[in-house]
Amino acid sequence: MNTLKKLLLALTCLSLFTACNKDDSQDEELPLRMNQFIQNCLSTFYFWNDQMPNLSPESVNDPNKYFKQLLFKDDKWSLITDDVDGLMAELAGTNETYGYELAGGQFKDSKQCFAIVLYTYPGSPARKFLDRGDAITQINWKNITEDDFPEFDKPGTITLGIAKVQGNTIGPVERIVTLESKVMDSDPVLVSQFFEKGAHKIGYLMYTSFTSNFNSSLEKTFNEFKAKGITDLILDLRYNHGGDDQAAAFLCSAIAPKDKAVKGALLSKERWNTACQQVFENDPQYDELLNRYFIDVNCNLDLPSKKVYILTSHETASASEYTIASLKAFMDVTLVGTRTYGKYFTMYSFAPQYEENGKIVQDKELANWLIFPVCSRFTNINGYPDFSNGLEPDVYVEDDPFNGIGLGWQNEPLLAKAIALISGENPMPMKAQNDIIARGKNTASSFIMLPKTLNDIKDNRVIYMKQ
């Protein structure tokens, strides 16, 4: 799980931390000073600090490269940025964007790629022209290759070629759309729906990222569910890569049984590297770095079933997996979809500092830099998960964004299955919003998530389709 909690002055007092001493010499270069901060920070707080190579700060002149060369080989998440303002705006859900979420794939026996629209945000430039399931095969008047994927997130103006999808085939471009990015709020409460099935009153929530700035949206939605007397909850986390711990604690506190979700009650645990763990365990002031607790909310659902259905995919990661794991200790959690990603680690943010006259102060000359190393691993109060693979679903259903069925529609396959499990009825037959037939199972949902955010997951999986 990714947290934006800052361990600045509070942790620098630990005896195991050595602050970077700012050299008074006018000849010291900023990259070297940043490298020194990186080394000191990682050697102290990095979860795999015992796996770091012996690489001096002077050996690499680029802080980005130096940071990456110090990381443990299996660490796919720790990151560094020299654009603090841009990253923080993105994490806060308020940044310049086109307002879409995409998945990408590659045509069989070709270097040509494509992108599929997973969803768009209300009020966004993309919402006017794009729908879930639209296939994009051209960007700025040229065919897409893997090198072009970053272009989808660059602010400005973008021209997209939309092709026809039919069965297992993506055809030629049918229409051209031009989007202009804008600064907007990307509220992670994307879709909320209410369904009645016999005695069951079902609330459905599509939640796209854990962003505490929008906890008020969660509160509003859950109170609307409560007013309608919902008996069951379906939480859609299939595309949720994670976010901050305050949002996760809020969500868990709203969903867990009311008698369990008591403010101050233990919610989960954290494990740090050996040195940090020993220091934290021996000093009560660091308790919240080892334990997380339920918080007070005004929207606990108090579900009579004490059961929640969560929709998952391989893109369900980090804070999403934290939420699943944490809730499993307090209620019945049924996963519908495919196996989750398997990221059970917490990232903390560190801003460059140095020691001056016995005090730790922020390095203003490096104020545009921030590092987010993996510092701890989470489990629920029972020590789950204790493995590295993703969480397996209880009921396997493939997500297929190509079918053109909107998120929150009753006949969307994952949602339909969850409703059927609650009501005991057979799922509604899958029917796309147009005449496009859903692709075969052998080609479904093996896609690459595109946006390069803090919580991004990108690997080498591809979809092979006919052209």
Shared domain for 178 and 207, answered yes or no, is: no
**pLDDT at residue 231 above 60?**
yes
User: Does residue 23 carry a pLDDT above 50?
Assistant: yes
pLDDT exceeds 90 at position 122: yes
Q: Which pLDDT does position 244 carry in this prediction?
A: 87
For residues 205 and 311, state if they share a domain.
yes
Residue 464 lies in a domain: no
Number of domains making up the chain: 3
Q: Residue 91 has what pLDDT?
A: 64
Q: Is pLDDT larger for residue 252 or for residue 110?
A: 252
CATH number at residue 164: 2.30.42.10
**Same domain as 320, residue 222:** yes
| Domain assignment of residue 240, given as a range | 189-345+376-423
Residue 358 is assigned to a structural domain of this protein: no
What integer best gives the mean pLDDT of the chain? 85
Within a domain: residue 356? no
11 occurs within a structural domain: yes
Report the pLDDT value the prediction gives residue 16, as an integer from 0 to 100.
43
The reported pLDDT for the residue numbered 92 is 65
Query: Which of 89, 122, 155 marks a domain boundary?
Result: 89
Same domain, 119 and 162: yes
210 plus 302 within the same structural domain: yes
Q: Quick check: 185 and 94 in contact, CB under 8 A?
A: yes
DSSP codes, 392-459:
PPSEE----GGG-PPTT-TTSHHHHHHHHHHH-SPPPPP--SSSPPPPPGGGSS--EE----TT----
Say which residues have a Cβ less than 8 Å from residue 268's Cβ, sequence separation at least 6: 291, 292, 322, 325, 326, 378, 379, 380, 381
Adjacent-strand bridge partners of 336: 311, 395
In degrees to the nearest 10, what's the CA dihedral of 161, 167, 168, 172? -30
365 domain-assigned: no
Residue 158, in any domain of the structure:
yes
296 lies in some domain: yes
pLDDT of 349 > 90? The answer is: no
pLDDT at 429 over 90: no
